[in-house]
Amino acid sequence: MAHNMSGYRIESDAPLTSDWRPLGVFDQLYDDIEAAIPIAIEGVDEPGITEVRVVDVKTGDVVWRSTDEEYEDHFEEE
């Protein structure tokens, strides 16, 4: 039986690691894209150079990638 999965996953061609996040944080699904992006950024040393992506599990579409120019705009300080 197929499951109607929804949420966002984090992926990269580079290994994703964090010195202070729990093991498996990059393997879990996130309900909210705004929760997934900061975790994704932490997974690589230089997210503007080493691409990390957030993918909509339902569609398979990449909805955010760290190497996009608008990457910086997503977290402008107010």
Domain holding 38, by residue range, is 8-75
pLDDT in tens, the chain (78 residues): 345 689 999 999 999 999 888 889 999 999 999 999 999 999 999 988 999 999 999 999 999 999 976 555 554 444
> Cβ distance 54 to 62 under 8 Å?
yes
1 occurs within a structural domain: no
Given this model, what pLDDT does residue 5 score? 80
- The per-residue pLDDT for 73 is 53
The model scores a pTM over 0.95: no
Query: Regarding beta strands 8-12 and 52-56, do their DSSP bridges make them parallel or antiparallel, or are they unpaired?
Result: antiparallel
- Per the domain annotation, does 69 fall within a domain? yes
Please check whether residue 61 lies inside any domain of the structure. Answer: yes
Q: Is 33 among the domain residues?
A: yes
Residue 2 lies in a domain: no
Number of structural domains (the chain) is 1
Whether 51 maps to a domain, the answer reads yes
